[in-house]
Each structure stands twice: as C-alpha cells, then as structure tokens.
Amino acid sequence: MHATRFVESYFDAWNECDPKGVADHLTDDGIYRDVPENSKRSHDEWITYLGKFFSSYRHRYELIGEILLGNDTIAFQYQVYPANTGQECESNEFYRGAEFMTLHGDAAMRITDYYDIPGMGQHAHVAPSLSGETQFHKYAKSGLNSDQLQEYKLALEKLMESRQAFLSSDLTLPSLAEAVGCSVNHLSQVINSGFGMSFFDYLNEHRIEHARELLASSDIQSGSILNIAFTVGFNSNSAFYAAFKKCVGQTPAQYRRAQVKRTH
C-alpha cells in the first residue's frame, strides 16, 4: 500500500472510532508501543483496549506536515482535538504527537507513538499512567525539560528506525548520544525513564524486532540464524538467543518454525 494512503486509512480509522480498523494497520504479530504510558499491545490486545477507549473518548486526529519515508519506515506528526471542535479551540484542549511505523508488506510490524499532553492525561487518546507523570517530574528535576525530551526522543527513534543505527555491532551510548546531539547523561535519561529500560535492552529490542522480520521473510527462511544474528548487530549467537528469548518468549528457531507454519 502507498504510504500516503496507509496513513490516511490509519487516521480515518481513528476518527471513525473503529478499533479493528486501527489495529488492522498492524500485522497479526505486530506491536503497538505507547511511549508515555510505557506499554506494548499486540494486535488483538489493541482492539480490546481501543474498544474500551472509544466508548469513553472521542477525538479528531489530523496529520501535521509531511509523511517522512525511510527503508520500510514511515514517520509523521499529528494533532488531536476534542471531537466536534475546530482549530480555534484553546491550546490546552489539544495535543500533538509523532508516530514511527516499521512496515512489513501492507501492514506495520511496529507502531511507536510519542505524544506530549498538557496536564499529563487530560485529553490522551491513550491515557498516561502514574509512572508517566512521575517520569515527567523526574526530567524536570534533572534539567531535561519536556521540549528537549521530545526532541531527543524523535531524533533517537529516527536514528534507530530510519537509519537503523542498531545494526552497528559496536554502537555505544556515547556514540549514539553524539549522533542524537545530546549529552550521554541526557540520552541515558531518555532511554531509562522515557522507555523504561536500559540502553542495552533498548538496543537489543530494536535488533530483535529486525531479526523477527528477517526470520519471517520467505526470501531468507532457509538462511542461517547465526548470519541473522550478526546481520542485526549481535556479536555472538548466545547473546542473540538470550535477547530473542527475553523479547519474544521463543527461541529464534521456534519463532521461524511458527512463521513457516503460518504461511503454509
């Protein structure tokens, strides 16, 4: 599907309050990641969650600016208004966000959603948890304000999603901070508090997501798992297996067999 039509369809589903329509923009084994809430939902979990959400909240979602395209990635910014209002509404009645999508065929393997809501939760389309509010105050105390935090998050995810910086086996926190344009301390805060994980877990998660795509690809299903481990940035097979099992709950071989069965 063309990227513009894909995003238009995605916004239409949100505006029509259609849980299945929204979730069907994910692959069957895809993941929606809500960064402020620090949660992940599978395709079916997202349908259930959105069904409850849409029964209580209705908003209007609009694209801001252009859709940015990368290798199998889409990134865009959006604005959210209360339903039945226009752009003349007060500034505290709407919020803005950004999403990064990793595509696989005509759907997304992963959708990562960032947003910054005035009042932390007054008009969220996915309401932030208490931990999200605590993280916000933690940033304030550390000298990293919300605007800088959003800027660093977007720059970091662009490096990871569009440029696939995680494929470099010698990627370090200092080198990544330099690429993002921030201090090592600030990048560590963004990853630890913003994503709720360590640098290595964050890095491995991106590597494993890419490995899942490669393992599911019919073009290379006969390829060596060890080669895939090296391709996505791991230096050893044992480290790859341990990280894969932690993220997916299966070994790479088990995951590949399950994908082969699904395609036959």
**Kindly report the CA angle at 162 between 172 and 11, in degrees rounded to 5?**
135
Domain identity same for 107 and 226: no
Least Cα distance to 171 among 160, 162, 157, 181 occurs for 160
What CATH number should be reported for the domain holding residue 40?
3.10.450.50
**Domain limit, last residue, from 128, 151, 175:** 128
Full domain range(s) for residue 25? 1-128
What phi and psi, each to the nearest 5 degrees, are found at residue 186? -70, -40
Q: Is residue 138 part of a domain?
A: no
Q: How far apart are CA 111 and CA 106, in angstroms?
A: 13
- Where is the domain boundary, 73, 98, 128? 128
Position 36 in a domain: yes
CATH code for the domain in which residue 228 is found = 1.10.10.60
Per-residue pLDDT tens digits of the chain, which is 264 residues long? 588 899 999 999 999 999 999 999 999 889 998 877 778 899 999 999 999 888 887 888 999 888 888 777 888 888 888 776 444 444 445 678 888 898 888 899 999 888 765 544 433 343 333 334 444 444 444 567 777 877 888 889 889 888 899 999 989 888 999 999 988 888 888 887 777 788 888 999 899 999 998 888 756 555 689 899 999 999 888 889 989 998 888 999 999 888 877 765
Rounded CA-CA distance 201/206 in Å is 9
Domain boundary among 128, 154, 169: 128
Two tokens, residue 101: 């999508």
Q: Are residues 114 and 214 in the same domain?
A: no
| Nearest one of 113, 135, 137, 136 to 126, comparing CA atoms | 113
Q: Output the CA angle 152-154-155, nearest 5 degrees.
A: 65
Residue 178 resides in a domain: no
Does residue 117 sit in the same domain as residue 230? no
3-state SS string for the chain: CCHHHHHHHHHHHHHCCCHHHHHCCEEEEEEEEECCCCEEEEHHHHHHHHHHHHCCCCEEEEEEEEEEEECCEEEEEEEEEECCCCCCCCHHHCEEEEEEEEEECCEEEEEEEEEECCCCCCCCCCCCCHHHHHHHHHHHHHCCCHHHHHHHHHHHHHHHHCCCHHHCCCCCHHHHHHHHCCCHHHHHHHHHHHCCCCHHHHHHHHHHHHHHHHHHCCCCCCCCHHHHHHHCCCCCHHHHHHHHHHHHCCCHHHHHHHHHHHCC
* HSE value, Cβ hemisphere, 13 Å, CA-based, for 129: 9
111 & 214 share domain: no
The total number of structural domains that make up the chain: 2
Name the pTM for this structure: 0.55
Find how far residue 95's CA is from the centre of its chain. 18
